[in-house]
């Protein structure tokens, strides 16, 4: 299954996406460019057949709570994808796809996972498959106010 491999890759990439201790974020490695804003991890997830959107959203909430309880001001949320019916052109929210955003607060070292981390990852594994992951540098004016 792709989920464990993708999650392992993301865990390994987190230190690369973690901000430097100064206000301006320097690259963590030669492959990561400097970021004059905040790093964001955007993931497109497909809800697993038989899983509920409510359980996926519980995983998102558990991830946000983990970061908060470990002293990080990262902002994590999910947004539904709007789909268009090709026949009627009516638009509605997808029942099977969500996009999550993880804005990484500057000035903190990469987090180390623990049993609570494993618990929210398990929730994601039980409810979804990551279809795409993108790392981004968001200009500070586009960053959530709570992490500026």
- 24: which 2 tokens? 């301006």
Give 77-109 pLDDT, tens digit per residue: 999 999 999 999 999 999 999 999 999 988 777
Question: Beta 128-138 vs 91-103: how paired, if at all?
Answer: unpaired
Between 62 and 112, the higher pLDDT residue: 62
pLDDT of residue 6: 37
pLDDT of residue 32: 62
- Contact predicate 59/48, CB 8 Å: no
Given CA atoms 79, 120, 124, 27 in this order, what sign does their dihedral have? positive
For 24, residues 6+ apart whose C-beta sits below 8 A from its C-beta are: 34, 35, 36
Whether this model's pTM surpasses 0.85: no
pLDDT value at 129 more than 50: yes
C-alpha Rg value of the chain to the nearest Å: 16
Mean pLDDT over all residues of the chain? 82
Domains assigned to the chain: 2-16+35-147 (3.30.70.100)
């Amino acid at each position: 299954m792709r989920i464990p491999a993708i999650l392992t890759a993301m865990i390994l990439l987190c230190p690369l996406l973690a901000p430097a201790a100064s206000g301006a974020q320097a690259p963590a490695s030669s492959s990561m460019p400097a970021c004059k804003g905040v790093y964001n991890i955007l993931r497109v997830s497909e809800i697993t057949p038989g899983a509920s959107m409510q359980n996926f959203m519980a995983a998102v909430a558990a991830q946000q709570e983990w970061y908060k309880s470990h002293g990080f001001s990262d902002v994590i949320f999910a947004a539904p994808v709007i789909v268009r019916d090709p026949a009627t052109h009516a638009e509605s929210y997808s029942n099977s796809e969500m996009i999550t955003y993880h804005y990484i607060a500057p000035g903190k070292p990469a987090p180390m996972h623990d049993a609570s981390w494993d618990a929210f990852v398990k929730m994601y594994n039980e409810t979804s498959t990551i279809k795409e992951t993108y790392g981004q540098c968001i200009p500070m004016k586009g960053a959530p106010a709570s992490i500026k």
